[in-house]
Structure 1
Amino acid sequence: MNFEQVSPHLDAYKEHDQIIDAAEYLIRSFDLEHENFSGFGFREELSSNSLLLTAEGELGGLQKVMIPKNLFDFDLNLVLNMVAHEMLHVRQKAPGNVIEDKNEREFQAYYEMLYHTVFPQIPEVSDFYKKAFGNKAMEYYKRMGEGSELQQKYAQQKTEVEQLINSLS
């Protein structure tokens, strides 16, 4: 699916204040659906220039992705990456697939926003956002604990993220 096909549909949904329908259209169009996803709900908007989405639900249980009503006021590439981030969390919290450690979940999700290994159909974001996502990935990597098993598990990806951040500086 490409933007030329998606944008008019999203604009129509937005025009009719059908934000949840637009978000559902987006995950269908970009093949982000998962059986552990129970739907979208609204969360409070942070501001007109700040975006926060969350996947909510018990580990091993269905997940609801909470979105702000102003979601589609932002750059579509950014929106797609943010939605994909949360849809990865939906998968990470699915029965039989649960990743217990929040730092590991977040590191994986930010890494995905940079390299699109799970969702290759998601477009890249600007270097500004790549740097921000890389820095968030590194923050969660550090929270795993110095020299921990988790850090060892993700040492290669950490190096990739560091190299990316340095190439953007």
Structure 2
Amino acid sequence: MNFEQINLHLEAYKEHDQILDAAKYLIHSFDLEHENFAGFGFREELSPTSMLLTAEGELGGPQTVMIPRNLFDFDLNLVLNMVAHEMLHVRQKAPGQVVEDKNEREFQAYYEMLFHKVFPQVPEVSDFHKKFFGNKALEYYRRMGEGSDLQQKYAVEKTEVEQLINSLS
């Protein structure tokens, strides 16, 4: 199924106020599903111009991805990247593969939004959003602690993020 057909299906779900079903359809269509995923739930909308998604649940336990009701009012490429970010958290918190450090989880997820190594089927976002996500990745990298083992572990990826940001400026 192509992107336009997927968008038409999402619009139909949205017209019938079936937002959770639309989100399930989206992760199925883009092969983002994972056995640690417990489903979607609603969270409060931030505003008509911004959105926040979260993966909620104990580390090592099933994760519920909380989405705003207005999720599908945004650009589909952006929505897909935001959902993929949370679905990466679902994997990071799965039994047997828990990434303990929040800064590491967030760095990995923002890195994924830029380079799509785990989810290559997810489309790219605008340069504006790439810069934003790149800067968020660098922020979490800084929070790992100057010269820490975690920073050393992700030094190559940090350089990739910096190069991408610089190429967009």
Q: State TM-score, norm by structure 1.
A: 0.99
By how many angstroms is 1:127 displaced? Answer: 0.2
Describe the superposition over 1:23-78 as per-residue Cα deviations: whole angstroms up to 9, x where unpaired.
00000000000000000000000000001000000000000000000000000000
Secondary structure of the corresponding residue to residue 39 of structure 2: strand
CA RMSD of aligned residues (A): 0.5
**1:58 maps to 2:76:** no
Question: Per-residue deviation at 1:2?
Answer: 2.8
Match of 1:167 in 2: 167
CA drift of 1:3 comes to 1.3
Residues 96-135 of structure 1 aligned to structure 2 (within 5 Å): 96-135=96-135
Alignment correspondent of 2:138:
138
AA matched with 1:15: E
2:39 maps to 1:32: no
* Runs of at least 4 residues off by over 3 Å: none
- Residues paired across the two proteins, number: 169
Structure 2: any 5+ residue segments left out of the alignment? none
Task: Give the counterpart letter for 2:105 in structure 1.
Answer: R
Aligned to 1:151: 151
State the distance in 2 between where 1:61 and 1:4 align: 35
Deviation, 1:8, is 0.8
Q: Give the distance between the partners of 2:7 and 2:128, measured in 1 at CA.
A: 23
Q: By how many angstroms is 1:5 displaced?
A: 1.7
CA distance in 1 between counterparts of 2:158 and 2:134 reads: 9
Identity score, percent: 85
Q: Distance in 2 between matches of 1:57 and 1:101?
A: 15
Superposition TM-score, scaled by structure 2 size:
0.99
